[in-house]
Amino acid sequence: MPGDLDSLLKEKRIFKPSLEFVKDSNIYKWMEKRNIKDYDELLELAEKDPEWFWDELAHELEWFEPYTKTFNWNPPHAEWFVNGKFNIVQNAIDRHAHGEQKDKTAFIWEGESGEVRSLTYKQLQMQVNKFANVLRDLGVKKGDTVSIYLPMILELPIAMLACAKIGAIHSVVFSGFWAKAFQERINDADSKVAITADGFTRRGKQICLKENVDVILENTPSIQKLIVVEHAKIPIEMDSNRDIWWHEAMEKAVFECTTEEMDPEDPLFILYTSGTTGKPKGVVHVHGGYGVGVYTTLKFVFDIKPDDIWWCAADIGWITGHSYIVYAPLMMGATSVIYEGTPDYPDPGRVWSMIEKYNVSVFYTAPTTVRMFMKFGEKWPEKYDISSLRLLGSVGEPINPEAWIWYHEVIGKSRCPIMDTWWQTETGMHLITPLPISDLKPGSAVKPFPTIVADVIDDDGNSIKGGGGHLVIKSTWPAMFRTLYNDPNRYEAYWSSFKNTYLSGDVARKDDDGYFWIQGREDDVLNVAGHRISTAEVESALVSHPGVAEAAVVGKPDEIKGEEISAFVVIKENYHFETSYETVLRHHVRTEIGPIATPKYIKLVGDLPKTRSGKIMRRVIKARVKGETVGDTSTLANPEAVKEIEKLD
């Protein structure tokens, strides 16, 4: 959390997991078999010989044909499990559905209203196979893209897995984005088939999806068919030439379905994320390396064992959900909880009541949620028996030590270690993270995962200790993204600042023990409640309104959400807003992008501070919003603009 940098820098406490916990962990047992004596030796051996490490783990999975080489690394391009044949679904479903695990529960789903549905591995396979046949019958083939816009219901993982089974590439769009985002992504991916639902409920209120999808499909020439899941029971209109009910298609579909044998490097999915420009980046992940990477990290970081009940409380529409709700837990043969609703609905006890009800043993959430629960107070978790918990996780943004301690003591009863996992949409899997055997420091993501070479460097590329610098990765890893869809040059850009080095876009600090402390983004990307939002994306949404001439968007530090979106806008002369400009512009951004991108603060100004070449000086505005001194403004073309911003409250 930006405001907490000082406390992060001062944090000195160390928490050691109990010996019993360590000895029982997957990673400890794995090391024991190989005579590896401790964490340091593990990291050393793995860094020296990444091929050994990944080859051993990859052998825990099923291959249609074995690979001949673990990886080729020609920065920035990697190829993993060369010449093998693989399908992630063979490993996520088929091998369990045909084995002893067939009647084990794969997913327990709970809707906001309290409705519960669950699927065993065998039942999941039935649904996935049938839906894969529905897609095949519509002409979807290996390499085709399918665009998916569904709430957190079981049909979402079913649709994703069905695509993967037949070698199609899924592109999931978070259902909290507005349909415009779906339109953009359908057009970028050129999908013939799209999937949505009638709608869903949020805090008891119905939200329609299909109605909005109908509007945007007028601008997506590639779409031939829209499959619609009936979920919220909202009355909708169906276009008889284009629209198909999910349940009707499933009734007719057969169960038998072959799993496509894929090259491990074949794309599995595209997931769009925010970059520094207004255009989202289509991050591409592949079957083989991604599969092995997410499987291994879930096994070793979250220590999933056959009896665990795993709850990753993210949305499947983000990478956290793709990797650690859908693919990794199924590959592990785990039982997972999926919750459709808001964590504090109908009251702030919801999450804790579900942990009690389902005996959740490993729980993974974002710091913003921890801080929200901290504000509600201990009385809510105290109402429930949450003693089934044994391990906790954090992701999405730096966790401030105060929230870490609360999470550890109040939720983890001072017993559960916290895995603060640093990673990104692009990395696909955890890259900097503790393991159950690590000593923990509140607020630190600890050390790189075995084989990963991470560093903090200055502008000249020199490694630095103690101070803040660019967080970079200097090795390949199996789940690394392979390209950006339709945009290979932008992929190369991640490696263009420093030779053979991946620039993460985060600022971090490495302490004397080699522990990493992530401090936040260094580019114009905001982190609002653990979600990446580009300032440029919000700015372009604002200026697309006929009344707005110019806009600058910056993050304002916020106690709960990490950052809040703060917008400064210049209004066109003679433009008249029907109601307050704030209401109009907030609504506009909401419909252009979605509720998560809605600016909390909007201020009108006559001019924005600019350089002589006309670039908006966000640095100056940011300093003002954070209450810091503005610094050197000598390069500004219009210093009066700063004065105006300073006068605002």
Q: Can you give the binding site for ligand WT7, defined by CB under 6 A?
A: 273, 319-320, 395-398, 420-425, 445, 504-506, 518, 521, 527, 532
Cβ-count burial 188-217 (b if 16+ within 10 Å, e if not): bbebbbbbbbbbbbbeeeebbbbebbbebb
Question: Which residue's CB is nearer to ligand WT7, number 21 or number 422?
Answer: 422
Provide CB contacts within 8 A for 80, sequence distance 6+.
Answer: 54, 70, 71, 264, 265, 286, 288, 289, 292, 476, 478
Question: Which residue's CB is nearer to ligand WT7, number 166 or number 457?
Answer: 457
Question: Which residue's CB is nearer to ligand WT7, number 199 or number 505?
Answer: 505
Give least dist CB 429 to ligand WT7, A.
9
* Residue 237, Cβ density class (10 Å: 0-12 exposed, 13-18 middle, ≥19 buried): exposed
Where do the DSSP E strands lie in 121-180?
145-149, 169-172
Give yes or no for a contact between 608 and 621, defined as CB atoms under 8 angstroms apart: yes
Q: 461-468: long-range contacts at Cβ-Cβ below 8 A with a sequence spacing of 24 or more?
A: 461/498, 461/499, 461/501, 464/510, 465/510, 465/511, 465/512, 466/509, 466/510, 466/511, 466/512, 467/509, 468/507, 468/508, 468/509, 468/519
Is residue 584 classed as helix, strand or coil in its secondary structure? helix
| Helix (DSSP H) and strand (DSSP E) numbers for the chain | 24, 28
Question: Which residue's CB is nearer to ligand WT7, number 356 or number 420?
Answer: 420
Give least dist CB 527 to ligand WT7, A.
6
Give least dist CB 273 to ligand WT7, A.
5
For the chain, the C-alpha Rg in angstroms (whole number) is: 24
Question: Which residue's CB is nearer to ligand WT7, number 355 or number 366?
Answer: 366
Question: Which residue's CB is nearer to ligand WT7, number 518 or number 571?
Answer: 518
Question: Which residue's CB is nearer to ligand WT7, number 67 or number 324?
Answer: 324
Give least dist CB 174 to ligand WT7, A.
10
Give yes or no for a contact between 149 and 173, defined as CB atoms under 8 angstroms apart: yes
Question: Which residue's CB is nearer to ligand WT7, number 201 or number 320?
Answer: 320
Question: Which residue's CB is nearer to ligand WT7, number 96 or number 299?
Answer: 299
| Number of residue whose CB is nearest ligand WT7 | 425
**What CA–CA distance (Å, rounded) separates 327 from 431?**
17
Where do the DSSP E strands lie in 167-262?
169-172, 193-197, 199-202, 205-208, 225-229, 243-245
